[in-house]
């Protein structure tokens, strides 16, 4: 490959039609430009300029080469502008994975703030259950993920973000149950509303029942927290749900929290990234915002 700087000398000389003026633009000496073009001509085996008394003029071969050189430098300049835009977070994208409930109740406020501060960054969201999200993260389909903990995977670095407080909630039909302490046996006799199988939330509540010596079968298996809250409010039974996700319904009296003799263990939300991959600048900035943002 001919040295890039020779091509630059060729381009500026062709534009200026003068070696001295080209040297001034390039902030080098006129002999350096003359030498560089001579070396380029020898490397190509072509004469690129006619040397005139008051400057230089492209030969036929030089005119044929010029459009390619102009296009090459135009692309390089565009690449530099794009790199600077990425550095200033004026362009780029972030790819984030999380469950629907975490996207709505945890990520959305942070995403809104990030979008206002960096409107040029494209935000790509991928929803799913924690095991699915973890798999996409390891496959490189997303940059970072918000996952339910515990999640143990040697390929991922996971740091705690927030603690979740789970609870059982009911509508007015079962309101009398909210006025006293319930045993696990009494709770198990109520119609139960759980998230669909395979979710970490479903696994968590089933493990809790199993620790109390109870194997339960829910009356309804639903795909979202919003549906759990809606069906509980309509009187279909007791829904297992994260308290902060239904704060508004609890305050308004649409839902009522059940008090349990055997308390539910808290569980965490974690930020997961791949151990062996550097994050894009936009993803790094968003993660900084998550770390400094309010917890659930």
What's the confidence (pLDDT) of residue 157? 94
Q: How far is CA 60 from CA 47, 48, 50, 63, 65, in A?
A: 9, 8, 10, 5, 9
DSSP code, position 175: G
Measuring CA to CA, which residue among 167, 181, 147 is closest to residue 247?
Answer: 167
Phi then psi for residue 97, to 5 deg, are -120, 140
CA-to-CA distance for 99 and 272, rounded, in angstroms?
13
Which residues of 138-266 form beta strands (DSSP E)?
A: 144-148, 156-164, 166-170, 181-182, 192-195, 220-222, 238-242, 256-257, 259-260
Distance CA 159, CA 155 (A): 13
Contacts for 176 with CB less than 8 Å, ≥ 6 apart: none
pLDDT value at position 296?
A: 43
d(Cα 46, Cα 53) in Å, to the nearest integer?
21
Query: Tell me: the pLDDT tens digits for 281-290?
Result: 889 989 988 8
Cα distances (angstroms) measured from residue 295 to each of 37, 110, 237, 268, 291: 63, 11, 29, 11, 9
Q: Which residues are bridge partners to 232 per DSSP?
A: none
Q: Kindly list the structural domains of the chain, giving each domain's residue range(s) and its CATH number in brackets, ordered by start.
A: 4-87 (1.10.10.10), 93-163+268-292 (3.40.190.10), 166-265 (3.40.190.10)
> Splitting the chain (296 residues) into consecutive groups of 10 residues, what average pLDDT does each group show?
87 95 95 95 95 92 96 91 79 90 87 91 91 93 91 92 92 93 94 92 92 92 93 97 93 96 90 90 89 63
- Segment 195-222, tens digit of pLDDT: 999 888 899 999 999 998 998 999 999 9
Specify whether the CB–CB gap between 141 and 185 falls below 8 A.
Answer: no
């Amino acid at each position: 490959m001919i040295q890039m700087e020779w091509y630059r000398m060729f381009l500026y000389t062709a534009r200026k039609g003068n070696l001295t003026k080209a040297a001034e633009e390039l902030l080098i000496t006129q002999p350096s430009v003359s030498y560089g073009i001579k070396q380029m001509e020898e490397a190509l085996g072509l004469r690129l300029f006619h040397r005139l008394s008051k400057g230089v003029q492209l030969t036929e071969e030089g005119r044929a080469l010029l459009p390619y050189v102009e296009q090459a430098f135009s692309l390089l300049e565009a690449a530099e502008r794009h790199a600077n835009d990425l550095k200033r977070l004026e362009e780029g994208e972030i790819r984030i994975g999380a469950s629907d409930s975490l996207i709505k109740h945890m990520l959305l406020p942070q995403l809104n703030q990030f979008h206002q501060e960096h409107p040029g960054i494209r935000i790509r969201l991928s929803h799913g259950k924690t095991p699915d999200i973890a798999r996409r993260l390891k496959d490189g389909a997303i940059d970072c993920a918000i996952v339910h903990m515990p999640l143990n995977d040697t390929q991922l670095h996971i740091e705690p973000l927030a603690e979740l407080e789970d609870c059982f909630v009911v509508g007015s039909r079962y309101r009398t149950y909210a006025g006293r302490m319930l045993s696990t046996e009494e709770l198990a006799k109520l119609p139960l509303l759980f998230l669909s199988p395979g979710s970490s939330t479903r696994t968590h509540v089933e493990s809790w029942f199993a620790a109390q010596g109870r194997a339960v079968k829910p009356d309804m298996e639903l795909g979202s927290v919003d549906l759990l809250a809606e069906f509980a409010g309509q009187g279909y039974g007791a829904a297992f749900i994260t308290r902060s996700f239904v704060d508004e319904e609890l305050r308004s009296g649409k839902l009522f929290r059940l008090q349990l003799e055997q308390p539910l263990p808290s569980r965490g939300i974690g930020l997961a990234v791949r151990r062996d991959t550097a994050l894009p600048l936009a993803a790094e900035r968003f993660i900084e915002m998550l770390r400094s943002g309010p917890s659930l």
